[in-house]
Structure 1
């Protein structure tokens, strides 16, 4: 199975929701479509599923243009944010809702109940189930049609944090074992990191970056992407010489032939607290916060007009201490 989304654009009146978006999903691949609320990811999902029609572009499945194909003919399975279970139908009836009478066999029901952890609950109604069990019913219903593509739209947003972690891991383990081609829409980076083979980061209706979770985390192409996927340290830099960059925390040796002013990016875990004899940045501790097994230090520059936050192991460093920081130059990226 191969799905290609080609140059999709969509506007609602004067609001341009998607602008020239292209993605590709291969057989067995799990793709996570992520970005802040309102970035266009749910609209893109509705276009892929056939619930919306694009203004421009095409959806191609296995080499065939399905842009105008109705949702029921695409054979895609869906788990929506609100789950959309029928309250007057039992678990069995909800699961069997989208398949033919011929397919509704006891063996098929038992397979679906077993793989989703619902054995013995087929006669219950949605209001008699926990939130996690309702989640599994929605998944079983999506799997019942043996979908070419499974689409999950913010499937864990209604669950509390503890239950979400447990259910998320169970569902993702199941999808991995079944090798089901999946598109997951989520604004949670943790969802993407846990399961995705490929990440697509969206902002303002456009794709910002595509890559593996590891690559996007380690090598973001913009401050937006870097902040979206975890804590980051971004410093204003100014070219001082051919291989020297000046920051308000000190000078860094970086081979830079780009513009004269830019931003430097580094993940906090790549910054080490060093000694006076082994450092390239320095600053004053303005604030120290207790975070359980870690401390978070807010460090200001000499003029107190720029600061960075750094998570460390529990340490004896105190507010107003002057500290030295070692930043490996190979871990630094430049943003224009």
Structure 2
């Protein structure tokens, strides 16, 4: 049984007319008839009820229709898969990421790659900056989305800045500070500070200590959480505040508000980072799509009149002429 015979059979089954089927297949009628006879002979059954001037499917023919469609679809998938491998597009890419900082970008990247390069398999790893540096250096990671300042310069790594996010203070809408316009850094030790656990993200407490030092205050007790989701739950409960990049807002609902800090502090860069010399097609595709998505975010942000923490631009009302 040959695949070309099954393809011809499906056209005959659809048209129930050998002449029209032969025309669609660009075959002579005798050649198509011989193909159907060869198919029946290979299966050892008759597939058609043949009457003068017309054909119809018998029970075996109707059963073969579904099997033929499934088999041909699988054949097409095999062909596409093998061709993708030959182009270097079918691969597993090991990805490290910082969950708060990459919360806006990565869903766009994964959605687009799923549509345009379904053969690529991205395995995602929520890691600290130190773990991403080590993974890239050792080869257990192919690419990382991390804080720009945390990338080790001596590790032979290349980085590309995708998006820049201001630092803000997140809190419940019911928090006593929620009506303020800005949050003074010097006031933060008076609040219950929430943040990421030292054992999971050792760079985070250092980051907070550095910001508070610019205001001349020290970090006191900080309630620690080992994931963005657990930190968010605590914020939504109305207890405590957290210093986070504005990208953290992509994880949350309108129960949490984000206020700028005063004095203004340097923003955080979300960078895409990979090892020098790594340039195989699958990885290159991920980098190109990530860069395009980063550009889209930056362009969209430029349209916001009051910056990323201000309200989004109002949608223009559609005028319908009568």
TM-score normalised by length of structure 2: 0.21
Return the structure number with greater strand share. Answer: 1
TM-score normalised by length of structure 1: 0.20
Return the structure number with greater helix share. Answer: 2
